[in-house]
């Protein structure tokens, strides 16, 4: 909880591209003004995940997530009134595969590619990982097409 939003008019979700563990920031008080928190206060939600769920050290990943938050928003943690620090361990129904267990984008069938959060590269997750897998598939298709033209 902060007395002003970290980003003005952020009524969506900010996904970070410069982090390993910190994934996104939302400001629910900006998404639903006047319903989430008392006037003059802004609830923020930051979400992170291990880069590799198979070898996760939740405590150090959590610490790094906070450090990455501090790097992106210097001084914000000290000003914040932290209401909940929670970690989830167990099944991950929000995604097709755990982070760190992604399938490859290419398949043994020539010209058939898989994309989506089941094919995420290490260090990505969720929607960001799905987009990154599509970019990887495009890169592979372009390389293949260039090789065929030669």
- Site residues for ligand FAD per CB under 6 A: 24, 94-96, 116-117, 126-128, 130
CB of 54 to ligand FAD, least distance (A): 18
> How far apart are alpha carbons 131 and 121 in whole angstroms?
10
Comparing CB distances to ligand FAD, the nearer of 26 and 70 is 26
Pick the closer one to ligand FAD by CB: 74 or 94.
94
The nearer residue to ligand FAD, 52 or 128, going by C-beta atoms, is 128
What span, in angstroms and rounded, lies between the C-alpha atoms of 48 and 65?
6
Query: Which C-beta is closer to ligand FAD: that of 121 or that of 127?
Result: 127
> Least distance (Å) from ligand FAD to the CB of residue 27?
13
Look at residues 29, 69, 78, 30 and name the one whose alpha carbon lies nearest to residue 48: 69
Are the C-beta atoms of residues 77 and 66 closer than 8 Å to each other? yes
Cα–Cα distance measured from residue 129 to residue 134, given in angstroms and rounded to the nearest whole number? 9
CB of 114 vs ligand FAD, minimal distance in Å = 9
Helices (H), the chain: 28-31, 58-72, 76-79, 126-149
Task: State the minimum distance, in angstroms, from the CB of residue 46 to ligand FAD.
Answer: 11
Bridge-partner residues for 15, per DSSP? Answer: 24
In angstroms, rounded to a whole number, what is the distance separating the alpha carbons of residues 130 and 63?
26
Q: What is the nearest approach in angstroms of ligand FAD to the Cβ of residue 115?
A: 7
Residue closer to ligand FAD by CB (options 78, 89) is: 89
CB 107 within 8 A of CB 114: yes
């Amino acid at each position: 909880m902060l007395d002003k939003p970290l980003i003005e008019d952020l009524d969506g979700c900010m996904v970070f591209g410069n982090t390993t563990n910190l994934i996104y920031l939302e400001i629910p008080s900006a998404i639903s003004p006047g319903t989430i928190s008392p006037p003059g206060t802004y609830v923020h939600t930051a979400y992170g995940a291990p880069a590799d769920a198979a070898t996760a050290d939740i405590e150090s990943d959590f610490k790094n997530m906070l450090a990455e938050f501090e790097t992106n928003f210097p001084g914000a943690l000290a000003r914040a009134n932290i209401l909940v620090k929670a970690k989830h361990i167990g099944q991950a129904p929000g995604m097709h595969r755990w982070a760190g267990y992604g399938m490859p984008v290419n398949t043994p069938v020539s010209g058939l590619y898989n994309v989506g959060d089941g094919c995420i590269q290490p260090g990505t997750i969720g929607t960001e990982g799905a987009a990154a897998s599509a970019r990887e598939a495009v890169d592979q298709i372009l390389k293949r097409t260039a090789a065929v033209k030669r």
